[in-house]
Amino acid sequence: MAKAPERIVIAIDGPAASGKSSTAQWVAKRLGFNHVDSGALYRAITAAAVRRSADADRWDDAFVLAGGKSIGLEPDGHSFAPTIDSKRVDEQIRGPEVTKHVSRVARMKPVREWVNQQVRAAAASFDIVVDGRDMGTAVFPDAQLKIFLVADPWERARRRLLQQLGRSPTDDEIAEETQRLVHRDAGDATQTVQAPDAVLIDTTYLTQEEQVERIVALARAVDHRDEF
């Protein structure tokens, strides 16, 4: 019997607002792979906790984890979007309430195990591009390609605000956002790990298209299947 073709996993990790998810989505589209955003799952389980109790001081591991039962992943083009009670929650998971609590939720060990299970299940039958903080270390240590995306915090803040505001931000706005970002980086530091065999890409002076081209070229270099 012919051996089933090997599944390819491309793991893209890096700090907040380094452009991981949008880059991962674009790379997946270029290669005909699927994209899984692990951060969106941390955000969805946080959103489920917010719905059930606004008093975040009383959330413990078991309470947060129980919300996982209401969460699904719905196919959306080349990607998957999280749902709560079968309804899309795209805007809610990016909102300030979820962003405020998600770092703490992401430090809960059982929550990390739950997210890792969801990501592995989504990856089981597809070639995937997966993005997060520890995809190339804890979740897919055997990924054929690992990328660690970084960029200067000021530039990450500028890009994030440009996207949010739809105009060029002022230096004062960028300075404030830079502070928020470095605090988030500190909150996520223990989870954000560069695999020793990851390719480091500093995107400070790259366009998104250039980042995507580099990763696509790296993917072609590691994929030796005929049909690719």
Exactly one of 22, 70, 83, 191 binds ligand DC (CB under 6 A); that residue is: 191
Q: How many C-beta atoms surround the C-beta of residue 171 within 10 A?
A: 9
Stretch that binds ligand DC, among 52-60, 128-136, 197-205, 215-223 (CB under 6 A): 128-136
Site track for ligand DC across 41-70, x = CB under 6 A:
-xx---------------------------
Report the residue number, 39 or 220, with the smaller CB distance to ligand DC.
39
The residue written with tokens 């298209």 in the block is 209
- CB of residue 158 vs ligand DC: minimum separation in angstroms? 17
Contact 97, 51 (CB under 8 A): no
Q: Is 39 in the site for ligand DC (CB under 6 A)?
A: yes
Q: Is 133 in the site for ligand DC (CB under 6 A)?
A: yes
Report the residue number, 135 or 143, with the smaller CB distance to ligand DC.
135
Torsion 131-147-150-214 (CA) sign = negative
In 3D space, the residue among 188, 201, 167, 200 whose CA is nearest the CA of residue 16 turns out to be: 188
Q: Residue 121 burial (CB < 10 Å; 0-12/13-18/19+)?
A: exposed
DSSP letter assigned to residue 127: -
Among positions 99-118, residues that touch ligand DC (CB under 6 A) are: 102-103, 106
Total residues at interface with ligand DC (CB under 6 A): 14
CA distance 125 to 206: 33
Q: Is 130 in the site for ligand DC (CB under 6 A)?
A: no
Exactly one of 23, 38, 137, 144 binds ligand DC (CB under 6 A); that residue is: 38
In 3D space, the residue among 78, 164, 62 whose CA is nearest the CA of residue 114 turns out to be: 62
Binding site for ligand DC (CB under 6 A): 16, 38-39, 42-43, 102-103, 106, 132-135, 188, 191
